[in-house]
């Protein structure tokens, strides 16, 4: 099984992503705070470069933080995680279904799927709905 992640996209893609609809309320508030000192109160359509860069940096940081945790868990599970150019590739000898079952049982399947890039082995359709939570002995 192979998972491919791209922690950082090209700069133009990162800048465009922070203004692509729908914008989360958190990001909208962040953009408002970083453009507060401008007299014309910029909107998402005409953000100053400083606010756009600050928002892109915030999004990269959040994505990288989540990805770091996922990669650490994969490494601890014995996956081969390495960098190839601008991508991070995680490999295991497990077959597709077994690999995704391990990710589900470890509670990281949803995060891995949300961060995976084109070229990743996706879970079988029957494994897509629900799950993603680690088993809790107190709530069977």
Strands of the sheet containing 87-91, edge to edge, are: 2-5, 87-91, 80-84
More confident residue, 7 or 43: 7
5 or 23, which is more confident = 5
Query: Domain segments of the chain: what residues?
Result: 2-127
| pLDDT value, residue 79 | 97
Residue-wise pLDDT for 1-18, tens only, equals: 999 999 998 998 988 888
Q: Is the dihedral of CA 132, 135, 139, 140 positive or negative?
A: positive
Segment 111-117 mean pLDDT: 92
Per-residue pLDDT tens over the stretch 62-82: 999 999 999 999 999 999 999
Q: What's the pTM value of the predicted model, to 2 decimals?
A: 0.75
User: Which conformational region is residue 119 in: left (phi greater than 0), alpha (psi within -120 to 50 degrees), or beta?
Assistant: left
Above pLDDT 90, what percent of the chain? 51
Q: 5 pairs with which residues across the strands?
A: 88, 116
Confidence of residue 33 (pLDDT cuts 50, 70, 90): confident
**What is the band of 140 on the pLDDT scale with cuts at 50, 70, 90?**
very low
Q: In the structure encoding, which two tokens stand for residue 122, read together?
A: 């996706």
């Amino acid at each position: 099984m192979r998972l491919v992640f791209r922690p950082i996209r090209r700069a133009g893609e990162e800048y465009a992503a922070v203004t692509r609809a729908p914008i989360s309320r958190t990001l909208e508030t962040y953009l408002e705070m970083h453009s507060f000192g401008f007299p014309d109160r910029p909107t998402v359509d005409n953000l100053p470069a400083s606010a756009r860069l600050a928002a892109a940096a915030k999004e990269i940081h959040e994505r990288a933080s989540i990805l770091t945790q996922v990669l650490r868990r994969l490494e601890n599970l014995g996956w081969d995680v390495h960098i190839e150019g601008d991508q991070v590739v995680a490999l295991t000898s497990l077959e597709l279904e077994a690999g995704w079952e391990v990710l589900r049982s470890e509670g990281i399947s949803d995060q891995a799927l949300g961060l995976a890039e084109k070229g990743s082995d996706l879970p079988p359709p029957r494994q897509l709905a629900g799950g993603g939570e680690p088993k809790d002995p107190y709530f069977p």
